[in-house]
């Protein structure tokens, strides 16, 4: 039998084709979880799966999906129910930055995409997976928050910061609603990490001086464990 902190657990991870999501997927698999990975890049998901298999763990279930497609997310719950019957861990890590510009200059299409990916997609995932998480003996929901302009206001970060603030509020509300259930809902603020998203916003930054995705992945593991009793909290790197 596979041993580890997440042995026998089923974990769905978004934004899993690279960066923090990929690091979390590899760590969860190493701890015995059966991981279901969502990302837009088929090649990226396959690389993560190859790395998991190369480390001697069972392969992942790969779901190439654009989280801006709300209808596809709605269908996800049925597919997971049919295959697994439950979901133990939901990690909502995918995010979009959309560049920087003054609030009054933002293009509607970019603003709407950021809201769709950073806020609406997590809400749809919660809506689709809530019955499956309640079928678990210890359902765990984790969202990645933080980033430019979210802790304190920063110039030109309006859509990203607003969508992430909305996500945090949604998670805290969901946590309150489940305070007396077996479900636990928390967030991770990974800080400044060397990811493609970070490089998109700060292309001249020295990535070697930043934290690695692997260094922050244990925060997600702490919140995913069945014996974690935190609820409505933010773990910061």
pLDDT value of residue 59 = 94
Residue 45 lies in a domain: yes
Q: Are 11 and 88 in contact (CB under 8 A)?
A: yes
The pLDDT profile of the chain, 237 residues, written as one tens digit per residue, is 458 999 999 999 999 999 999 999 999 999 999 999 999 999 999 999 999 999 999 999 999 999 999 999 999 999 999 999 999 999 999 999 887 889 998 899 999 999 999 999 999 999 999 999 999 999 999 999 988 778 787 888 888 999 999 999 999 999 999 999 999 999 999 987 756 776 666 677 777 777 899 999 999 999 999 999 999 999 998
The pLDDT assigned to 1 comes to 43
In a domain, 5, yes or no: no
Residue 1 in any domain: the answer is no
**What is the DSSP-derived secondary structure letter of residue 193?**
B
Q: What's the total number of domains in the chain?
A: 1
- Secondary structure letter of residue 59 according to DSSP: P
Evaluate whether residue 196 is within a structural domain. yes
Distant-in-sequence, close-in-space partners of 105: CB < 8 Å, separation ≥ 6: none
Give pTM, 2 decimals: 0.94
* Residue 80 contacts residue 34 (beta carbons within 8 Å): no
Does residue 78 have an active-site annotation?
Answer: no
> Left if phi > 0, otherwise alpha if psi is -120 to 50, otherwise beta: which for 111?
alpha
CATH number of 133's domain: 3.40.50.720
Range of the domain at 52: 10-236
Q: Which residue in the list 78, 160, 174, 220 is annotated as catalytic?
A: 160
Q: In residues, how long is the chain?
A: 237
Whether 221 is covered by a domain: the verdict is yes
Instruction: Provide the token pair at 24.
Output: 């979390």
Rounded to whole angstroms, how far apart are CA atoms 61 and 12? 9
Is 2 among the domain residues? Answer: no
Within a domain: residue 132?
yes
- Helical ranges in the chain per DSSP H: 19-30, 42-54, 70-83, 108-115, 121-134, 158-177, 196-201, 213-224
Q: Which residues pair with 188 in a beta bridge?
A: 144, 235
Q: Is residue 25 one of the residues assigned to a domain?
A: yes
């Amino acid at each position: 039998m596979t041993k580890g902190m997440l042995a026998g657990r089923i974990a769905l991870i978004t934004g899993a084709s690279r960066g923090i999501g990929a690091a979390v997927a590899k760590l969860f698999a190493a701890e015995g979880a059966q991981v279901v990975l969502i990302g837009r890049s088929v090649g990226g998901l396959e690389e993560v799966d190859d790395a998991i298999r190369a480390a001697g763990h069972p392969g992942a279930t790969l779901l190439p999906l654009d989280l801006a497609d709300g209808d596809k997310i709605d269908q996800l719950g049925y597919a997971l129910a049919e295959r697994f019957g439950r979901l133990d861990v939901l990690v909502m890590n995918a995010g979009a930055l959309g560049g920087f510009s003054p609030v009054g200059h933002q293009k509607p299409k970019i603003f709407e995409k950021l809201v769709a990916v950073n806020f609406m997609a997590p809400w749809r995932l919660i809506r689709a997976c809530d019955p499956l998480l309640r079928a678990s003996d210890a359902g765990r929901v984790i969202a990645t928050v933080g980033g430019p302009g979210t802790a304190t206001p920063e110039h030109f970060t309006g859509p990203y910061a607003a969508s992430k603030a909305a996500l945090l509020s949604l998670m805290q509300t969901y946590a309150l609603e489940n305070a007396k259930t077996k479900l636990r809902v928390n967030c991770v603020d990974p800080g400044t990490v060397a990811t493609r998203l970070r490089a998109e916003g700060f292309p001249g930054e020295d990535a070697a001086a930043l934290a690695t995705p692997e260094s922050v992945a244990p925060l997600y593991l702490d919140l995913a464990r069945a014996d974690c009793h935190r609820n409505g909290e933010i773990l910061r790197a």
